[in-house]
Amino acid sequence: MSSKLIAPSILAADFANLQRDIEMVNSSEADWFHIDVMDGVFVPNISFGMPVLKAINTHAKKIIDVHLMIVDPDRYIKTFADLGANILTVDYEACTHLHRTLQAIKSENMQAGVALNPHTPVSLLEDIINDIDLVCIMSVNPGFGGQSFIENTYSKVHQLKELIRKKGASTKIEIDGGVTNKNAKQLVDAGADVLVAGSYVFKSNNQPETIKGLKTLANS
């Protein structure tokens, strides 16, 4: 079984010490940088945009996983590729022509991800799952860090894992929102491959140890 991955969410980093926090992730056991881009329309919050992503990319030495929470993401696919995104995730609820959007992401040599809001059933992916490299199951309502984990997520992970198996897809399952040492193991047991963690990592007193602890739990 391939190893389970940890993706610290930079949304919870100290933006006044962004380089320091990026270097911390570089030298930790984390696998990916998770970067949340919010437009204030798809979600009720604005995070940061291209100049910040460019600065992150200058220092980041690991996979850059960009999670878009924006309407009409097709407008910016090439821009995010040029900014160094390795994985680009769009929202199921923001894409009228999801199949076309995913092909456009792949044509820019990025992996294509789809995020599902907590109310969106995984069964809606039945006819597109083989085209998706990563499904990001939102375990909080998107827009803010530091929210509580929604327990219904476990059942969604089980259902998605089963759909992936049934269709013979190689899609990874990522969980985003409220991830801590309290739910990491159960999420992986349900079928998760990638755990995003923002507040739990960056608000801890020893960030590298917190990442290491999550990685150990996820692979236990």
From ligand DX5, Zn ion, none, which one binds at residue 111 (CB under 5 to 8 Å depending on kind)? Answer: none
Q: Which stretch binds ligand DX5 (CB under 6 A): 7-15, 86-94, 106-114, 157-165?
A: 7-15
Q: Which stretch binds ligand DX5 (CB under 6 A): 17-25, 50-58, 82-90, 196-204?
A: 196-204
Matching residue, tokens 């476990």: 154
**Minimum CB separation from ligand DX5 for residue 167, in Å?**
26
* 71 touches 46 (CB < 8 A): no
Residue closer to ligand DX5, measured from CB, 46 or 163: 46
**For ligand DX5, how many residues bind (rule: CB under 6 A)?**
21
Q: What are phi and psi of 22, to 5 degrees?
A: -65, -40
**Structure-token pair, residue 174:** 């990522």
Matching residue, tokens 């198996």: 165
Antiparallel, parallel or unpaired: β 111-116 and 87-91: parallel
**Minimum CB separation from ligand DX5 for residue 206, in Å?**
17
**Structure-token pair, residue 122:** 């995984």
Footprint of ligand DX5 on residues 132-191 (CB under 6 A)? Answer: 140, 142-143, 145-147, 176-179
196 interacts with ligand DX5 by CB under 6 A: yes
Residue closer to ligand DX5, measured from CB, 109 or 206: 206
Residue choice 38, 53, 64, 67 for contact with Zn ion (CB under 5 A): 67
| 3-state DSSP of 185-218 | HHHHHHCCCEEEECHHHHCCCCHHHHHHHHHHHH
Residue choice 31, 36, 65, 91 for contact with Zn ion (CB under 5 A): 36
**Minimum CB separation from ligand DX5 for residue 168, in Å?**
29
3-state secondary structure of 120: coil
Burial 94-122 (b: 16+ CB within 10 A, else e): bbeebeebbebbeeeebbbbbbbbeebeb
**For Zn ion, how many residues bind (rule: CB under 5 A)?**
3
From ligand DX5, Zn ion, none, which one binds at residue 90 (CB under 5 to 8 Å depending on kind)? Answer: none
- Residues marked as catalytic: 36, 176
Q: Whole-angstrom Cα distance, residue 190 to residue 202?
A: 25
* Contacting positions for Zn ion (CB under 5 A): 36, 67, 176
